[in-house]
Amino acid sequence: MNKTIKNEGVWMNEYETLKDVYRNIKEFLKLYNTKRLHSSIGYKPPIEFEKEQILNTRIIA
């Protein structure tokens, strides 16, 4: 994940301040977890996968 943040998030832009870097990383992580599909979890965004896992755990319990 760190490699992805660097390659797709941080190094793709130029910044004037550290605050700009922080803001960009924060936005990238939001998109990464809510929109970006991940092959290792069935081509779903992590937030969707996590919700399914919680629901399945409650059904089993």
The reply to whether 7 falls in a domain is no
> In the block, which residue shows the tokens 């991940």?
38
The reply to whether 3 falls in a domain is no
Q: Determine the pLDDT at residue 61.
A: 63
For residue 59, is pLDDT > 90?
A: no
Q: How much is the pTM?
A: 0.70
Residues 6+ apart with CB under 8 A from 10: 21, 24, 25, 28
| Banded model confidence at residue 5, pLDDT cuts 50, 70, 90 | confident
Domain of residue 39, residue span = 17-60
The reply to whether 39 falls in a domain is yes
Q: Determine the pLDDT at residue 42.
A: 96
Domain count, the chain: 1
Interval 7-55: pLDDT, tens = 777 777 889 999 999 999 999 999 999 999 999 999 999 999 999 999 9
The reply to whether 27 falls in a domain is yes
